[in-house]
Amino acid sequence: MKKRVVHYINNFFAGVGGEDMAHIPPEKREGVVGPGMALQPALGDEAEIVSTLVCGDNYMGEKTDEALDQLIAWIKEEKPDLVIAGPAFNAGRYGYACGSLVKKVQEELGIPAFTAMYDENPGVDTFRKDAYILKVADSAAGMRSAIPLMAKFAKKILNGEEILGPDEEGYFERGIRVNYFHEKRGSERAVEMLLQVMAGKDPVTEYPLPKIDRVDPVPPVKDMAHTKVALVTSGGIVPTDNPDHIESSSASKYGVYSIEGMEQMSKDLFTSIHGGYDRQYVLENPNLVVPLDAMRELEKEGVIGELADYYIATTGTGTSTDNAKRFGEDFVNKLKEDSVGAVILTST
Amino acid sequence: MVKEIERAGIPVVHIATVTPISLTIGANRIVPGVGIPHPLGNPKLSEENEFKLRKSMVLKALDALQTPIEEQTIFS
């Protein structure tokens, strides 16, 4: 009997519009849709994608429980042998959606499930311990190489084969240790490793330390009424002519823009160039992302000391964490020079 | 960016709708946004109520900035 597979994708990959349709609730379609059309032949005759579940990333992000409950109910009906989500590449909300679903499928239904993402997708760190996440490229251009990888992994699971370590299978390390007998005992390996280090080589560690970059919370603001507050956003709000040519995704730069003397973010002066959300509301009212109108009123009321006469902006979607870190390291110097004592950072 | 601001010693609050992503990237003070395309307001409301909502959210963010915390905290 053919094994049954349910595939989850977002509205974009289902061909249901772009960001303007990211609000759509879950839907269930018979058979293959979008990437499933390539995945099905790669799976061969042993498995069949019986249905494809689709949901808008915004709906999933905003009404996660409702969306997951509906999806889980449908998956339960289908009685699949495996659930595959994505690939989500470097799309953060999609990665979060895929990760949330595969986690819940395993926990609530006990059905194997996996997804696939790019290294820097925030979904990787959130869900790598909960599920297999295969390593794929950062954009849909990598679909061609992602499909065989996913199909191969799917077949292994469906055939009940042993899933080997992250390097062998190409998934993100899950922090799981499996005992096995090595041909050489530990003391021998340790001495070999030591000799390699002494020879100036770089041996591969057997126990990589986790790279967790956390910053301890700083003490709170003591006297807000005398503090200068600055606004920063990753929501892509820039002057209408986008003077710094900030990219609509995968930003390589940020901008500092004057709001001196302005009571609110005027839609005639500011726009959004962000390619990762439906901009219709923000184009009408940029204060939805850069809350200048509210800040000005609180400034007048004396709740804050003053508002910095500029805001800082970049586009968050697809932007590498290395770039984001570099932007931050760079603009904090300006914030410090200008005696900014608190920052509100808004993200879309 | 949030982490670099905090690392420089400046208190920072992150207003974001998908709070799990905010937690993953390491923000310490987090205020949930209203919606992904409109974190600070609800376009379905009247202009007046919409502004009131935004102001209340900014006030919540300012409160978060004035609250001592030991670990990552979502102020919802």
Instruction: Give the tens place of pLDDT for each residue, A242-286.
Output: 999 999 998 999 999 999 999 999 999 999 999 999 999 999 999
Residues of each domain in chain A carrying CATH 3.40.50.2300: 3-169
Q: Which residue of B has its CA nearest to A277?
A: B37
pLDDT at B55 over 70: yes
Residue among A122, A314, A328 minimizing CB distance to B21: A122
Average pLDDT estimate for B2-15: 97
pLDDT at residue number A265: 97
The pLDDT confidence band at residue A209, using thresholds 50, 70 and 90, is low
pLDDT at A51 over 70: yes
pLDDT at residue number A175: 79
DSSP assigned state of A33: -
pLDDT at residue number A18: 83
Residue among A61, A96, A213 minimizing CB distance to B26: A213
Dist CA A192 CA B14 (whole Å)? 48
Spatial neighbors of A24 by CB under 8 A, at least 6 apart, are: A11, A16, A54, A55, A56, A59
- Please tell me the distance in Å from A173's CA to the nearest CA on chain B: 16
Average pLDDT estimate for A298-308: 97
pLDDT at residue number A64: 94
The pLDDT confidence band at residue A193, using thresholds 50, 70 and 90, is very high
pLDDT at residue number A177: 75
Q: What one-letter code names the amino acid at A302?
A: G
B5 touches chain A (CB under 8 A): yes
User: Is A310 within 8 Å of B74 (Cβ atoms)?
Assistant: no
Average pLDDT estimate for A44-49: 94
Residue among A96, A328, A344 minimizing CB distance to B15: A344
Dist CA A39 CA A47 (whole Å)? 10
User: Is A259 within 8 Å of A292 (Cβ atoms)?
Assistant: yes
Which phi and psi angles does A107 have, rounded to 5°?
A: -70, -45
Q: Which residue of A has its CA nearest to B19?
A: A61
pLDDT at A178 over 80: no
pLDDT at A339 over 90: yes
The torsion angle over the Cα atoms of residues A119, A120, A125 and A129, rounded to 10 degrees, is: -10
Residue A287 in 3-state DSSP?
helix
Whole-angstrom Cα Rg for chain A: 24
pLDDT at residue number A211: 67
Tell me the CA distances in angstroms from A1 to A68, A78, A84, A158, A195, one per residue in order. 29, 15, 19, 12, 54
B20 and A96 within 8 Å at the Cβ level: the answer is yes
Residue among B4, B43, B57 minimizing CB distance to A328: B4
B69 touches chain A (CB under 8 A): yes
B24 and A297 within 8 Å at the Cβ level: the answer is no
What pTM, to 2 d.p., does this model score?
0.70
pLDDT at A184 over 90: yes
Dist CA A123 CA A8 (whole Å)? 15
pLDDT at A210 over 70: no
Say which CATH class A3-169 falls into. Answer: alpha beta
B49 touches chain A (CB under 8 A): no
Residue A222 in 3-state DSSP?
coil
pLDDT at residue number A295: 98
pLDDT at B68 over 70: yes
A277 and B9 within 8 Å at the Cβ level: the answer is no
Q: Which residues of B touch A295 (CB under 8 A)?
A: 58
Average pLDDT estimate for B23-38: 94
pLDDT in tens, A121-153: 999 989 999 999 999 999 999 999 999 999 999
